[in-house]
Structure 1
């Protein structure tokens, strides 16, 4: 058993307010009337170290670590946080975090709808990196980090203002944040390809993949999509979609689906006490034996043994 009693199922939150209420953290710094938040985490965590439960956040998070230390996990990837670190996580992923020290660490969260309404209506065309599967953090030099600091502190000022144009001003300032991220995180990124038809197909496939597994976990869907289903979602021939995904990502579409299924299974096995039979049904397997064979084929471990080892 892990250090904290595991939940019966993975927690999922549609807003930071929901998350903080469930975790018993203060919410007085959060405006419940908007889908945007910003605050210094030092004002939230008065007792350190702090270790969160594993959860799924259905919103974007951007973290600016001027002075603090800890680590965070998104899906199966764990990264350290240290002074000068900037990172962001996308909706739908399993997350957890630890804070060992906190002095000045600002967190910004916002929904996809806030992005489209107040930042850019074609947000994923202008800032395609927001669809990236897992984004590695970046530790910047102090003089570069200060450029972000000026921006998030100005956003903080607007967030607590009473201006009727508050969201629009926040949106415009956040455009600059995204452009800075694009500049410093994707220095070698070629914007010529952002409008490429094949690139759009890959982005749409990734979005559909993420959404479908969210639907499976929430019970809105009861069977996994086949390649044909992903092709139908974009009105494409299945072979054409498969060729585009392989050529643009270097990974066959079947591998994308398998990797996502295994990642979801691992997180449920490690972070919940949900019976293996129920996990198999959640992931669309009609028989738990089929799930066990599938899992062992791709991990060399049975679900039972994986759960034992993960909790050792």
Structure 2
């Protein structure tokens, strides 16, 4: 069975440091900073492939690999990475990381300051890893230095300052993407319906012991859940994403199928059932249509 249940912020501390801060679930949310130091004995603890219920922003120098959903990204030189509760990830080849620094925080830390998920660096389908040149890396390390100064200070409003510094990191990364991509992001009715649809879709993943089967597979299924007409949903999704509702659903199921084929020990029939296919042959036909290879062959690659 696949073992990729969501890791809580408490489990992160137990895995990484074998201790848990007091009042980690306090009303203002949680925020903390850590340096990536050279590993003891030349080997770092492995980072498991799974979702987390917290956010993480990290800059590293060195070489490693990151598995985001079904994509493997080679990280070289300076890299700024954004991790969020919606997308599972795993770090490999950690011995190649020379040094770095990262911050972790939960949704509650921004609960009174809007939705952090609206920023592209935390959205599915957007860029989450940014290669930095020396000057950009210097700027990012400078932001983290200011974070360390603030978190150790006795200033009563220091967490407001820390939120602003997190926003600096977010906007620095977003400015590295083509600006046209972020222009005119109006939160109109279509945007709202499309976001609700995407949240409902993502809620079904990853497929594991706690989400054993995908139940919503068609545009009509989602329209019924959202209490809107299917044509209304289709228009909203198309206007925001440029894709049909069916195309978005298909892409996400295909992405999850690749993850399960490569990251779990389920056989093809078990994966077909978990993804909502009534017959393994239906899954075989679906997968081969979109990848030109059979699930069995893909699993063996």
For Structure 1 versus Structure 2, the TM-score category normalised by the shorter chain is 0.7 to 0.9
Select 1:172's aligned residue among 151, 164, 171.
164
- Name the counterpart of 1:78: 72
Aligned match of 2:56:
61
- Cα-to-partner distance string for 1:215-256 (whole Å, 9 max, x where unaligned): 776237652342123234544321122133234323222121
Question: Given that residues 261 and 283 in structure 1 are in contact (C-alpha distance below 8 angstroms), is that contact kept between their aligned partners in structure 2?
Answer: yes
| More displaced 10-residue stretch of structure 1: 146-155 or 266-275 | 146-155
- Pick the aligned partner of 2:24 from 26, 33, 42: 33
Q: TM-score, normalised by structure 1?
A: 0.78
Alignment of 1:83-94 (within 5 A): 83-94=77-88
Report deviation, 1:269: 1.6
Aligned residues: 296
Instruction: Please state if 1:130 is matched with 2:125.
Output: no
Matched residue SS, 1:62: strand
Q: What's the CA shift for 1:136?
A: 4.8
Q: Distance in 2 between matches of 1:16 and 1:208?
A: 23
Whether 1:250 and 2:242 are equivalent positions in the alignment is: yes
**How many angstroms does 1:73 deviate by?**
1.7
Correspondence 1:115 to 2:110: yes
Counterpart CA distance in 1 for 2:117 and 2:128 is 19
| Cα drift, residue 29 of structure 1 | 9.0
More off after superposition, 245-254 vs 210-219: 210-219
CA distance in 1, matches of 2:68, 2:147: 26
2:292 to 272, 291, 300: 300
Pair 1:18-2:11 in alignment: yes
Q: Which residue of 1 aligns with 2:134?
A: 142
Q: Is the 8 Å Cα contact of residues 84 and 140 (structure 1) preserved in structure 2?
A: yes
Matched, 1:9 2:2: yes
Deviation of 1:74 (Å): 0.5
Question: Greater shift after overlay, 268-277 or 165-174?
Answer: 165-174
* Contact 2:2-2:208 at 8 Å conserved across structures: no
- TM-score, scaled relative to structure 2: 0.81
Give the 5 Å matches for 1:91-102: 91-98=85-92, 99-102=94-97
Q: Does the 8 Å contact 1:60/1:90 carry over to 2?
A: yes
Please state how far the C-alpha of 1:152 moved relative to its aligned partner: 1.8
Stretch moving more, 175-184 or 257-266: 175-184
Pairing 1:231-246 to 2, within 5 Å after superposition: 231-246=223-238
Contiguous gaps of at least 5 residues in structure 1: 1-7
Unaligned runs of 5+ in 2: none
What is the deviation of 1:129? Answer: 4.7
| CA distance in 2: counterparts of 1:187 and 1:30, whole angstroms | 40
Distance (Å, rounded) in 1 between the aligned partners of 2:207 and 2:70:
20
| Contact preservation (8 Å) 2:13, 2:19 | no
Q: Cα distance 1:82–1:302, how it changes in 2: closer, same or farther (>3 A)?
A: closer
After superposition, residues 162-311 of structure 1 pair within 5 angstroms as 165=157, 167-185=159-177, 187-214=179-206, 218-219=210-211, 223-309=215-301
Change (3 A) 1:26 1:122: closer
Give, in whole Å, the separation in 1 of the partners of 2:5 and 2:109: 19
Give the whole-Å Cα distance in 1 for the aligned partners of 2:65 and 2:157. 36
Q: For 2:40 and 2:221, locate their aligned partners in 1 and report how far apart those are by CA, in whole Å.
A: 44
C-alpha deviations, 1:181-226, integer Å up to 9, x for none? 3333453444433334433433332222111234776237652342
- Give the Å deviation of 1:149: 1.8
Distance verdict in 2 for CA 1:50–1:129, change over 3 Å: closer
